[in-house]
A and B are shown apart, each in its own frame.
Chain A
Amino acid sequence: MKKSWAIMRRDLIKLSKTPALIVTSIVMPVLFLLIFGNSLEGQLKHLPLVIVNQDHGPYALRVMEKMQALAAGPRTINIAYMDNPGRAIEQVRNGRYKAALIIPPDFSRDITVGRIAELGLFADNIDSISSTALQALIAQATAALRGGFVTAREPKLNQIVLRPTNLFVTVDYDRSLIPGVIVMALFMGSMTSGVFNWIMDRFSGVTEAYLVTPLSPWNIAGGILASSVVATTLEAIVVLIAGLALTGGGLTGGPAAIAMLCGVIVLTGTGLLAMMFAMYSRASNPRLIGGPAGFLNVILFFPSGAIYPVESLPPWLRAFTRWNPETHAISALKSVMFKGANFAAISSDIAFLSIFTAIMLVLAGATLKRSL
């Protein structure tokens, strides 16, 4: 224990001499937050839509009003008008607009006589995210009209209007990325410290000079792990503070929330560092880490709920997310940060992370290379 302390002290001294490493470990996740938080908004905005109105009846006007309201209020769309449907479709094809909405000449009449009325929507379905969103928007806007006349659907007379109510205080998209960038900082720490230091020691021969002293391989690995947990979790906490400051606003929940956040961060950091030890403690060359670790970073991060809801992933990937430690870390962090969760609410995530960390520590111990 005391001997591990010597190694831990050594690594912290070395880290303090490479401030660039600390700075990048903090700045990179924060940059990620700034770039993606300000570009990928939670909702789509300013989708260019061209409308060709060939009908001058009352229902066509109602549709136009609905669309104008969407453009003026949430700014989901930008509207342009044209007379020639052929030219409008042409402009969608060449990328000027995301979709062309064509209101045919007999639209209002069809509704009045009770026939199924049709609207034409020609969407740039290569950009599937925008086209799906536009389709949903227009369906929603027109469904509110009497009789519901959306393509190929039976008209219904008694409409049910859904009025959504948010359960939680609305969180801006950039703020909702904070748990993700915390986990990103933890993963980067597990790549650049921990087992990396272990392999560097072996590679540079330092280990040979250590193993002839009373220091055991356990002391060495323990000291490296401890220093890395300290450094990595401190970096992640700085990322948390920077993230809160940049997205404007503090943390609700007081000391209990802070304690829970720190607990989740330490647990996740230890688990990821132990995982990397279990995978790489026998590697002979530090260069072996870079590629696979970069891959692992993406493969754990993307399906973790950090940037995209896990519920919307295909079933096979969703099955994986249940075993992904980053999913549980992000779920716990989000619950505490945005939902004011108490410990009971995150206990299943904590339990998963604890078991994961314990298993990885055991694996790391079992595979640790104890001889030269």
Chain B
Amino acid sequence: MPSSSAAIETRELTRRFGAFTAVDGVSFTVGQGELFGLLGPNGAGKTTLIRMLTTLIRPSSGQAFVAGHDVVHAARRVRESIGVVPQALTSDLELTAWQNLDIYGEFYGLPRAARRKRAEHLLEMVGLRDRAGDMVATYSGGMRRRLEIARGLVHSPLVLFLDEPTIGLDPQGRRAVWDLLVQLRSESGLTISLTTHYMDEAEKLCDRIAIIDGGKIAAIGTTQELKAMVKGADRIRVEVAGDAAPAAAALRAQPYVQEITADQGAIVIAASDGAHAIPKIIERLESAGAAIRSVSIERVSLEDVFISFTGRHLREEPGGPAAPIRDPLFAAAQRRG
């Protein structure tokens, strides 16, 4: 039996393809109304996980419940409760947007009048009203993606699954999708499961994030919680007049300092709670007689969290190179931690 209030719950969920394990003993719970993010690199097993939750493929072992129903034994109840926006574009190119929604709504047994009303509302919401009568084959990728989000909402589902909904969209298109998701959650209390490999997307939208890599959940929590899990995450840079070595020595044994390096008039300190460490660092340096010229802080990013848990970078833009390592010191600290 699932926990009563969970929108999604998995227990040791596993899927193998032959000898290869694509999803490996995944357990997590998503509460109702939550916007939950699955963040992971290519091939991490995100789509496989979503496909099990949306009843497309069967788990090899473990259990999963969506909207309180078992995905294997009550697949039909699950299907009635979920909306899905698959990773691949799957709308029917030979129909208009309106026909796509209308026919999809019929699958759920919605009466004609209700379908019409709902489709009009959704097409308005995703900004396709003007093009609703055009064949989908004439749409841009962004328009098609928005149509598919509308299609996933036709029957007012309890849980919406989106598998990389912003892939291949320009910044403007991505923002439009983000706004839509934020609006949806605030208006309807819908539970949303969002798969992405964009850090900014996960950080901006998700209440909680699971970092998935190699089929396993590497870490799970709110953005804040995830960042706090990373040791010495914030970097504080202090410029001092003259030699930095004595100033660095004064800080070395302090509890709020995790790593420290000094080089030509600047000290870089790694601290897990940088904001609170700054006043202490200033106080300590002043009492040691150092003349402070500037203080700056670089907060930990989700990217850093990701690298910390997976040992890898996650590309920021589709097709673009991996983000460069910003700070050699930080990278070294991570390797040791």
Are B55 and A2 within 8 A (Cβ)?
Answer: no
Task: Look across to chain A and name the residue whose beta carbon is closest to the beta carbon of B109.
Answer: A2
Chain A nearest Cβ from B330, distance in angstroms: 42
Cβ of A13 and Cβ of B95 under 8 Å apart? yes
Question: Which of B99-107, B120-128, B210-218 sits within the interface?
Answer: B99-107
Q: Is the CB of A320 closer than 8 A to any CB of chain B?
A: no
Cβ-based interface call for A344 (8 A)? no
Is B151 close to A, CB under 8 A? Answer: yes
In the bound complex, CA of A14 to CA of B88 (Å): 22
B57:A371 contact, CB within 8 angstroms? yes
Cβ–Cβ contact B90 & A206, under 8 A? yes
Rounded to whole angstroms, the CA-CA distance of A125 and B95 in the bound complex is: 59
Q: Provided the pairs A13-B99, A205-B88, A205-B89 are in contact, do residues A212 and B94 lie with their beta carbons within 8 angstroms?
A: no
Q: Does A208 contact B (CB under 8 A)?
A: yes
> Which of B76-84, B181-189, B224-232, B233-241 is near enough to bind chain A?
B76-84
Report B-chain residues with C-beta under 8 Å of the C-beta of A371: 56-57
Distance, CA A180 to CA B199, complexed state (A): 64
B90 near A208: Cβ-Cβ < 8 Å = yes
Chain A neighbourhood of B106, CB < 8 A: 2-3, 5-6, 9
Residue from B80, B88, B107, B135 whose CB has the most chain A CB atoms within 10 Å: B107
A14 touches B108 (CB 8 A): no
Q: Does A287 contact B (CB under 8 A)?
A: no
Q: Which A residues are CB-close (under 8 A) to B99?
A: 10, 13
Question: Do A209 and B90 touch (CB < 8 A)?
Answer: yes
Which residue in chain A gives the minimum CB-CB distance to B56?
A372
Q: Does B291 contact A (CB under 8 A)?
A: no
Closest to A213 in B: B107
A204 touches B (CB below 8 Å): yes
Whole-angstrom distance between the alpha carbons of A208 and B106 in the complex? Answer: 17
Secondary structure class of chain A's binding surface, majority of residues: helix
Please, how many angstroms separate the alpha-carbon atoms of A371 and B95 in the complex?
Answer: 24
The 8 Å CB contact of B95, one of A10, A213, A215, is A10
Contact among B55, B91, B93, B109 with A209 in the assembled complex (CB-CB below 8 Å)? B91
A201 nearest in chain B by CB position: B92
Taking a contact as CB atoms under 8 Å apart, the answer to whether A214 and B109 are in contact is yes
B166 within 8 A of A: no
Q: Are B93 and A204 closer than 8 Å at their CB atoms?
A: yes
Bound CA span A204–B109, Å:
24
**A81 contacts partner chain B, Cβ-Cβ < 8 Å:** no
Is the Cβ of B57 less than 8 Å from the Cβ of A372? Answer: yes
Which of A209, A211, A212 lies at the interface centre, i.e. has the most chain B CB atoms within 10 A of its CB? A212
From residue B70, how far is it (CB to closest CB) to chain A in Å?
16
Does A163 sit within 8 A of B, measured CB to CB? Answer: no
Q: Judging by beta carbons under 8 Å apart, are B88 and A213 in contact?
A: no
B56, A212: Cβ atoms closer than 8 Å: yes
CB closest residue in chain B, given A200:
B94
How many residues of A sit at the interface, in one of the four size bands?
20 to 34
Interface status of B142 (Cβ within 8 A of chain A): no
Picked from A17, A206, A212, the residue with its CB within 8 Å of the CB of B79 is: A212
Determine if A213 and B104 form an interchain contact, defined as CB atoms under 8 angstroms apart: yes
The CA-CA distance from A316 to B54 in the complex, in Å, is: 53
Residue A308, interface by CB 8 Å:
no
Residues of A within 8 A of B108 (CB): 213-214
- Option from A14, A204, A205, A214 in Cβ contact (under 8 Å) with B107: A214
Residue in A closest to B155 when the chains form the complex, CB atoms: A213
Beta-carbon contact of B54 and A212 below 8 Å: yes
Instruction: State how many angstroms separate the Cβ of B327 from the closest Cβ of chain A.
Output: 43
- A36 interface residue (CB < 8 Å to B): no
Which of A190-238 touch B at CB < 8 Å? Answer: 204-206, 208-215
Using Cβ atoms and an 8 Å threshold, which residues of chain B touch A206? 90-92
Q: Give A14's nearest chain B residue, CB to CB.
A: B94
Interface residue? B86 (CB, 8 A): yes
A10, B90: Cβ atoms closer than 8 Å: no
B79, A214: Cβ atoms under 8 Å?
yes
Which of A13, A214, A215 neighbours the largest number of chain B CB atoms within 10 Å of its CB?
A214
Residue of A nearest to B50 (CB): A212
CA distance A208 to B109 in the complex (A): 19
Partner of B103 from the list A9, A204, A208, A214 (CB cut-off 8 Å) is A9
Question: Are the C-beta atoms of B76 and A208 separated by less than 8 Å?
Answer: no
* B86→A6 contact, CB < 8 A: no
Once bound together, how far apart are the Cα atoms of A208 and B84, in whole Å?
10
For the complex formed, measure the closest distance between the CB of B141 and the CB atoms of chain A, giving whole angstroms: 14
Within the complex, the shortest CB–CB distance from A210 to chain B, in Å, comes to 7
| Contact status of A10 and B92, CB under 8 A, knowing A214-B107, A215-B107 | yes
Chain B hits for A10, CB < 8 A: 92, 95, 99, 103
Chain B residues with CB under 8 A of A7? 103
Please, what's the 1-or-0 string for B49-70, where 1 marks a CB less than 8 Å from any CB in chain A? Answer: 0010011110000000000000
Give Cα A209–Cα B83 distance, bound, in whole angstroms: 10
Decide: B86 and A205 in contact? CB cutoff 8 A.
Answer: yes
Contact A213 B91 (CB under 8 A): no
Q: Is the CB of B151 within 8 A of A209?
A: yes
B55 partner residues in chain A, CB cutoff 8 A: 211-212
The 21 sampled A-B contact pairs (Cβ below 8 Å) are A3-B107, A3-B109, A6-B107, A10-B95, A10-B103, A13-B95, A14-B92, A14-B94, A17-B135, A205-B88, A206-B92, A208-B86, A209-B91, A209-B104, A209-B151, A211-B56, A212-B54, A212-B56, A212-B79, A214-B79, A372-B51
Q: A206-B90, A209-B91 are in contact. List 13 more A-B contacts (CB 8 A).
A: A10-B103, A14-B94, A17-B94, A17-B135, A208-B56, A208-B88, A208-B90, A209-B104, A211-B56, A212-B54, A212-B86, A214-B76, A372-B56
The 8 closest A-B pairs by CB, nearest first: A6-B106, A209-B90, A205-B90, A213-B107, A212-B84, A215-B107, A205-B88, A212-B54
